[in-house]
């Protein structure tokens, strides 16, 4: 029995699933970024120290490195008692 076609089909399905997961992560990262900017970006009218870690996480999200950005933004938001958006 030739298993090559089954192996190729399996690899194609994995590739499609990975692409969909990556797109979902990008969408989720964008939602977290929007929440952070809206609610935590500037907490007062006076000049404050920027949150460099959050800024780096937002930059990571925008560059496609969701694995680096998502956990940081989730923590920043949950530390301030925000409910995170649903992750697809």
Q: Where are the domains of the chain?
A: 21-41+49-88
pLDDT at residue 8 is higher than 60:
no
Residues 44, 12: Cα–Cα separation, whole Å: 50
pLDDT at residue 5 is higher than 80:
no
Angstrom distances, CA of residue 25 to CA of 2, 3, 57, 79? 36, 33, 13, 21
- For the segment 17-46, the average pLDDT, to the nearest whole number, is 79
pLDDT for res 85:
94
Q: Whole-prediction pTM value?
A: 0.71
pLDDT for res 15:
55
pLDDT for res 66:
96
How confident is the prediction for the chain on average, in pLDDT? Answer: 81
Instruction: State both tokens at 78.
Output: 């949950």
């Amino acid at each position: 029995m030739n298993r090559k076609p089954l192996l190729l089909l399996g690899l194609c399905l994995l590739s499609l699933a990975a692409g969909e997961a990556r797109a979902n992560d990008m969408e989720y990262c964008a939602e977290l970024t929007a929440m952070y900017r809206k609610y935590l970006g500037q907490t007062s009218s006076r000049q404050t120290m920027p949150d460099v870690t959050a800024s780096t996480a937002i930059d990571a999200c925008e560059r496609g490195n969701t694995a680096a950005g998502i956990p940081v933004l989730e923590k920043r938001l949950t530390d301030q008692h925000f409910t995170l958006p649903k992750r697809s």
